[in-house]
Chain A
Amino acid sequence: MMDIAISAKHISKVFGQVRVLDDVAFELRRGEVLCLAGENGCGKSTLIKIINGVYTPEAGAEFQFGDDKVSGVTPHDARHRGIHVIWQDLALFPHLTVAENIVFDDYVASPLRPLSRKKAHDEARRIIGKIGADLDPDMLVEDLSIAKRQLVAICRVMRAEAKIIFMDEPTASLTAREVKALLDIARTLSAQGISIVFVSHRLSEVLDVCQRVTVLRNGKLVGTYPTEGMTQARLSELMTGRELTQEPRAAGKVGELLLELQGLSRTGEFEDVSLKLHRGEILGLAGLLGAGRTELAHVIFGMHAPSSGRMFKDGKPLALSSNRDAVAAGIAYVSEDRLNLGLVQNQSINMNTAATVLPELEAPRFFLSPKRIRQLTADWIARLQTKVSNAELPVSSLSGGNQQRVVLAKWLATKPDVLILDCPTVGVDVGAKQGIFTIIRDLADQGMSIILISDEAGELWYNSDRILLLRDGRLVEEARPSDIKEEELEGMINA
């Protein structure tokens, strides 16, 4: 029998009227890498918080840590037993160095005693070596990529002698290469007897590194399964409770040339990009974070000026001095950063939907009609089947998939003929992803031209008519899904 690190049984939690967790059991073995999978709102975070003592479960819960059987946990207990959570925001201090962040607990333990810089540095070195990460202890955390920051967070819990580490969506904003590095570290830790729980909804990596996967759905335990022999399709099915079939996009009938870029460059970002986009075409733009994909989108959307090269739309030269010119020219851009750029999170769903088309909602002049705003929003909610209980609520109250529908609505309201989608399914549930792509395909069928930017091979392969590969700021390859396999595309992107 395997060593048990944590076993929790009969875990339930009720918030107000809602039963968030219903008699869930959770078991983690020592040195295991486990995945906790499920759609947004399935109760994953609540379960983690209960195991860490943040929330108290309903009566009847049983916990076992190693050989200790207890009926409850406090946050202090959890720490004491070496249980740590790395939340998605990482909770690091951006203005401190890597070393200072790693030994931060020492500052807290004895705030008045000055800590030698050298000692901090050496200690950080030791920890970094232990997990086998590539980090410079003297760098400021704010100068690091998200991936490296994550490693700093891991070092910090390792410094606190973590035996069990929960990682909340650790791969959500990493490139495929960075994910690999993170997974390697997970294996290193696991070999040292440390248990790791990944909370994730990116499926391929889950199957890759985890030994078992525990699936929750609507607050109930679906089951815990070995990952050997598990397919992505099967796992999606377990998470969503329904079968998701993906059909590759039928080789479409694309129309005439609509948008053309000739030798477009922006110093330090991308170089000599030439491409043609036709009416009704979904053009996949494959590339990793940092390949220049978002930068290119920003230039086409008029946010930044190119340093050289030309753009044509309908055969006429495009000169964009701001994104307002781009919108007027029928170009819309769905940002990859929904949280900071795509939506004004605190403001209402109504206001977010209307923001792009204010002049049309103004009638008579100098009267912005609240009724027209509500009508516009209601129309788009119906057309995109967004789940909204009240459009006066802040858009942040919606799930990722529904937020993305609001972003789509606000841009579709401008009646664009070119729609640039920058990683449109980041932070969107498996089930909701499908819905987003159904919308995108319908739009293309109605004649809209779409540039789909992504680093997920499956997403591109299934939904594009043609795929261009962007690497280090240059277009290096062009392929049609009908000519290559999905796996080949995956290899090309991550090469």
Chain B
Amino acid sequence: MASDSTKTVSSALSPKQIGGDAIELMVMALLLAASIALFSFMAPGFLSTGNFSSMALQLPELAILSLAMFVPIISGGLNLSVTFTANIAGLTTAWLVKGALVSAGFASLPLAIAAGLAAGGLSGFMIGVIVAYVGAHPILVTLGAMIFLRGLGEFLTRGGDISGMPEAFLAIGNSAFLGIPMPMLIFLVAAGVLAYIMQFTRAGFAIHMIGSNLKATEYSGINVKKVTIILYTLSGVLAGLAGMIMLARFNSVRVGHGESYLLITILACFMAGANPFGGFGRVLPLVLGLMSLQVIASGMNLMGASQHLATAVWGAFLIAVMIVRAPFLKKT
């Protein structure tokens, strides 16, 4: 019997299962280091403070949207409405700042931001309720939500944009603390909080469990409907946060802004080792992977390459990561 059990264990032992987290982290760290090394060598001015702060300024939109995508992916789902949720959250805040709350004075900004995040959360909440109670596949539900939010936003703005936010709000986009641009700080805090939630709370535990097997999780006495609602709400709030940063950086909000990020957020999660079938994945490799993407974009920009070429390189990079990782994940 003893030899039996050791044998079953060793034959099932793969890095994905036992050292998977460490390997993902290592792969992502190596890629980040390699891309920084490559561009410091090839791109003039890459190692300047200016470049680093501009990277730190540009990264957070995509990065926070990726966090919003990460949560449902771990649960075995997807949230295709993250970009339009961000737009709706931005719209909500912009309207309140310029309209209803204009007379609220000093309190108007925090209130408007809270309302924007709440709008994002509400969108996620509705998705969560439908996924949990109707049992429809998250791809369908969030695809519906995506089209609904886009239509709603375009209807309300008549396809135009809202701009001209007060200085105090724009500070979110262009101020810095200890030399780190505010958007980057917001992203790092959001990533830290999310990593904590996923690793050290009951909700995070349950999100991983339902990602692997919803039925068995329910049979264990975990309230899977509640968890589903929580996780989509969390995704919505994070998307809303990305919306706040976009609004502050561009001083305007338009429905459709950031739309092209959608598929990249999904790929970034898979690139960082999140299991496409749910249940596994960590925040830190995702953060490192996103940083690599930004390094590539900025480095190529400094080299004078077209932005479109940079997008192509991203695609190639994402595929390359999958190839690099493959041997690590084969059975030992």
Contact = CB atoms under 8 A, between A and B. Distances in A.
A324 interface: yes
Interface residues of B, number: 37
B233 to A, nearest CB: 16
B219 interface: yes
A15 B11 contact: yes
A64 interface: no
B12 A356 contact: no
Contacts of A398: 5, 8-9
A414 B12 CA distance: 29
Contacts of B260: none
A397 B201 contact: no
A125 interface: no
A218 interface: yes
B215 A340 contact: yes
Nearest to B2: A387
B6 interface: yes
Interface string A328-366: 000001010000111111110001001110110010001
Contact of A393 (B12, B202, B219): B12
Given A340-B213, A362-B202, A40 B12 contact: no
A484 B182 CA distance: 79
B17 A393 contact: yes
B212 interface: yes
B5 A402 contact: yes
Interface in A349-392: 351, 354-356, 358-359, 362, 366-370, 387, 389-390, 392
A351 B5 contact: no
A399 interface: yes
Contact of A343 (B7, B216, B221, B279): B216
B59 interface: no
Given A323-B218, A366-B201, A344 B209 contact: yes
Given A396-B12, A397-B8, A355 B220 contact: yes
A380 to B, nearest CB: 15
B218 A16 contact: no
Contacts of B219: 303, 323, 333, 335, 341-342
Given A15-B11, A39-B4, A327 B221 contact: yes
Interface string B186-216: 0000000000000111101110110011011
A82 interface: no
A402 B17 CA distance: 18
A341 B212 contact: no
B222 interface: yes
Given A346-B279, A389-B9, A397-B13, A410 B220 contact: yes
Interface in B1-41: 1-13, 17-18
Contacts of B6: 389
A20 interface: yes
B223 interface: yes
B163 interface: no
Contacts of A410: 220
B217 interface: yes
Nearest to A398: B8
B5 A368 contact: no
B12 A368 contact: no
A355 B219 CA distance: 10
Interface in B241-267: none
Contact of B10 (A18, A387, A396, A399): A18
A356 B216 contact: no
B3 A218 contact: yes
B220 A356 contact: yes
A54 to B, nearest CB: 15
A366 B4 CA distance: 40
A83 B5 CA distance: 31
A324 B206 CA distance: 14
* The 4 nearest A-B residue pairs measured at CB: A397-B12, A41-B4, A355-B220, A387-B5
Given A16-B10, A345-B213, A389-B6, 18 more contacts: A20-B7, A40-B8, A327-B221, A335-B219, A341-B219, A344-B209, A344-B212, A345-B212, A346-B212, A346-B280, A351-B208, A354-B205, A368-B201, A368-B205, A370-B200, A390-B18, A393-B17, A398-B8
Interface of B: 1-13, 17-18, 199-202, 204-206, 208-209, 212-213, 215-223, 279-280
15 contacts: A18-B7, A18-B10, A322-B223, A323-B218, A344-B279, A351-B209, A354-B205, A368-B202, A370-B200, A390-B9, A392-B18, A393-B9, A397-B17, A402-B5, A414-B221
